[in-house]
Each structure stands twice: as structure tokens, then as C-alpha cells.
Amino acid sequence: MYDNNALQQYVETIGLEMLAVSHMQRADTPDHYQETEFFFRLLDSPVVNAFALPGGYIYVTRGLLSHLDNEAQLAVVLGHEIGHVAARHASQRALEQQLGQIALIGGAVAGELFLGIPGGNILGLGGMAAELLFLSYSRDNEREADRLGVEYASMGNYKSAEGAKFFLSLERMSAQTGQSIPNWQATHPDPAERASSIPKLAEEWSAKGYEQTIVNTDEYMGMLSNMIYGDNPREGFSRDGHFYHPEMKFQFPYPTGWQVFNQRSLVAVVNKEQNAVSVMTLDNKSTGAEASVNEFLNQEGITTIGKSRATSNGLSAFEAEATGQTQDGTQLKFYLYSIEYGNMIFRFINYTTLEGYDTYGPRFIEVTSGFKELTDSGIMNIQPVRLQTVKTTRSGTFRSFLPADLKSLAITVSPEDIAIMNQVGLDATIESGTWIKIPK
């Protein structure tokens, strides 16, 4: 969860407002649905996302909040997610996700068996399609949730047509990244279609007598002030071929051209061809490096080739090589390496195909042998980028309000990224008195 009680409570307040006018609270709704307790939570993630889980759990990310411009847009998003629960999409999706994981796990390294982490984490690394296939709703589900989100926001007197602007930003994000378009369109209506339909839905509720006057830009921007923007480097970041973790005070190198995936539970480094992976996790169960490696080796389906004690920059370690195979018969070779550092044990599980090991085995050793204590004070003291929300005191193009020192920020941020976040074009004219969000 994002560590800001005021912002957490703000999201919950708007969520409960939407819940009160939703189908979950109406007189003709069965008692067991009306009695469903809802929980609204703000996640500490830079990813622009919101989702609903069975049982009344609604999550939004700080990445999503940074891309909304006012309370009305937040109301539409939260109403949309409540709509998924009201229409029971969340329960349907949970079943589909379980079935999908059973079908897909055979073609991947079984995460629970080999890696001790959920299989979806590794499936997602191979190219997001498997993950998104089962973590997304159908197009019809999304259209229905859009309709309900507008309905609930309108009944709460919010200017629900504001929600269209977010979907236009989403379309720009998809166009900018390129890779998101096929996956997004596979299970969602086109963002432009949704941006077009939302004002029409809002008009229908206006015709029914709902004034829809609330926007609340001032309060929303005030709540966003000083919120962390983008990846939090305190929780790990990559730079110049090294991964650094300022909070836990360690670093390790990774091969040129390999991509880093940093999550709370693991750090994974993957080659361009996606057939060689190095996964580092914190082992909280084992009593030492040797026990950590042996826990992996003792799993059914793993054949140990050899193992021995090792050291990494003065740190006690243990290494091993082993083989195994996926359920589809693909032969894998593993290089295991656990390190004792401080009061913690870090375990690297490196793997590739049997025939690829001669090529990638040396790369795995470079990663693990380079693990060491982080002592660079400049990196240890790095701080996250935060949003500054300000009202402009002059008119001008949006570009003219951008700071000149964007390259000095702890994360990579482009002018287009900031324009998308503000739901404007770079060369759009910004009138005096307009709220804008600037990373600092």
C-alpha cells in the first residue's frame, strides 16, 4: 500500500460515495450482496491501473492517480471497478484466471515448483500476453463497467463526461509504448471508442435530471501534491549495467542489453531473446546460503550436477548446477547461487535451455559474482521523484512550463510523458489559473 494515510482515506471516501449509489446498495438487491463489505486501497505502484477482486476489494495505483486530473475522473474509475463487482465480472475473471494458469503453466517454468514464486510472474516476463489474457476483462465486460461507472458517478452528481479524457490519455500511452496496443485491444474496447461513448452516456443521465456539477480539481490536485511519481528508486533501480537497491544496500551487474524487471518480491534480468533468465529473491526461510540452495535442489524434478561453497566479494555464498524440464519437455539447466549478506539471504535462480547454457552460464556467473555491498553515498541517498501540483500564473504552451533539468531526475521522464499525465498536448495552450502536475 502507498504510505500516505490522507490519500488512502481520500480514495476510500470517493469509493464509498460511489458504492452508496451503486447496484450493490439498492433496495431490490439481495441482502447478501448489500452486506458485502468493500475495501478501497491505493497501491504503491507506478503502473497506471485499477482493478477489482472478488469480495469487494477495489485497488487503484498511484500511477493511475497521477494520470487523472480531478475527482470526477476518479469517481468514474472507482464506479467502473464497483461496476465489475456489481455485474460479477470479478468472480468470473477469477475462475478464468485459475483455469488459464492451469493450461499455461505447462509451457513455462513452473513458478511454484522451481522458483518459489507465483508462476504468473515468470509467464509475464516472456511477453505479457499470457498474463494479460487472464487478468483482463472481456470487451463486453468493460463496456458494461463503463456504463455503470458513468451511471454511479452521475448519480453522485459528478461531471462524469470528464472520464473520457483519461481514456484519450490511455490511447496516447498505448501509441507511445507501441507494445501495449495489441494486448490492450485483445480484451478491451478501443480507448478512443470508450472516450467517445462516455460523454454520450453522461448525456443520458443528464437528460434524466442528474446535474453532474462536481469536478473538484482543486481538492484533487491538493491531494496529489508531493506524491511519488514513477518508479521509486529507493526500492531498486538499474543504471549503466548495474542494479542498485539503496534501502537494502546492495548492488549487482547485469549483461548489456538485458532487461530488468524489479518487483517487491523479486528482481529478474532477462535477455533480449527471452530464453535466459536470472531471478533474485530474498530467502526468508533458509538458515544459510547452503540450505537456501539445497531447498531448491531437493524439489522433485531437479537433478543436481554439482555444488560447492563460494564467496562473492567477501560474502559467504553457495553455488550449484542442476537440470530440470518444463511440463512440455523443454530441458533446462540451472545455476543456483545464494549469498549471506547482513542478516539476509539472497538467492539467484538462473536458468536457460540445456543447449543455451554454454552461452549464458558465464553471464549468470558475472551477475552473481558481482553482488556486493552498496557504499556509494550518492546512490544510497537517492530520493524518489515527486509530483508538484501548481496553478499557472500565466498563459503559454504546456511545453513552456516544463523544467529544463528533466535529465537530472532520478528516473527517465520525457516531455511527452508529462503532457500525457496532464491530459494535454505538448504545444497546447495553457491558460493562466490552470492546474498542472510537474515531476520534481
Phi, psi at residue 319, to the nearest 5°?
Answer: -130, 160
54 compared with 165, residue with greater pLDDT:
165
Supply the pLDDT for residue 378: 94
Looking at every residue in the chain, the average pLDDT score rounds to 86
Give residue-wise pLDDT tens across range 185-205: 444 567 788 889 999 999 999
Supply the pLDDT for residue 330: 85
Overall average pLDDT of the 265-290 stretch: 92
Asked if the model's pLDDT at residue 120 lies above 50, the reply is: no
Overall average pLDDT of the 145-153 stretch: 95
Asked if the model's pLDDT at residue 218 lies above 50, the reply is: yes
- Here the cell at position 255 is 549483461
Buried b (16+ CB within 10 A) or exposed e, 51-60: bbbbebbbbb
Q: DSSP letters of 286-333?
A: -SSHHHHHHHHHTSTT-EEEEEEEEEETTEEEEEEEEEEE-TT--EEE
Q: Whole-angstrom Cα distance, residue 106 to residue 116? A: 16
333 compared with 326, residue with greater pLDDT:
333
Lowest mean pLDDT among 124-128, 169-173, 188-192: 124-128
Q: Who contacts 400 (Cβ-Cβ below 8 Å, separation ≥6)?
A: none
Angle, CA 79 vertex, CA 226 and CA 148 arms, to 5°:
155
Q: Whole-angstrom Cα distance, residue 210 to residue 205? A: 6
Percent of the chain at pLDDT > 90 equals 68
Burial (CB count within 10 angstroms: exposed 0-12, middle 13-18, buried 19+), residue 86: buried
Burial (CB count within 10 angstroms: exposed 0-12, middle 13-18, buried 19+), residue 13: exposed
The answer to whether 368 and 350 are in contact (CB under 8 A) is: yes
Closest CA to 174 of 157, 162, 189: 189
Asked if the model's pLDDT at residue 151 lies above 80, the reply is: yes
The dihedral over CA atoms of 42, 43, 49, 53, expressed in degrees to the nearest 10, equals: -80
Give residue-wise pLDDT tens across range 236-248: 999 999 999 999 9
In this prediction, residue 402 has a pLDDT band, given cuts at 50, 70 and 90, of very high
List the CATH code of the domain at 233-380: 3.40.1000.10
- Here the cell at position 304 is 543436481
Angle, CA 46 vertex, CA 133 and CA 267 arms, to 5°:
75
Supply the pLDDT for residue 351: 93
Name the β-bridge partners of 320: 307, 336
Lowest mean pLDDT among 110-124, 166-180, 231-245, 315-329: 110-124
Q: Whole-angstrom Cα distance, residue 93 to residue 208? A: 33
Give residue-wise pLDDT tens across range 13-48: 999 999 999 999 998 888 888 888 999 999 998 988
Supply the pLDDT for residue 87: 84
Phi, psi at residue 157, to the nearest 5°?
Answer: 70, 20
Give residue-wise pLDDT tens across range 66-110: 999 999 999 999 999 999 888 875 555 544 444 343 333 222 333
Phi-psi region of 56 (alpha: psi -120 to 50; beta: other; left: phi over 0): left
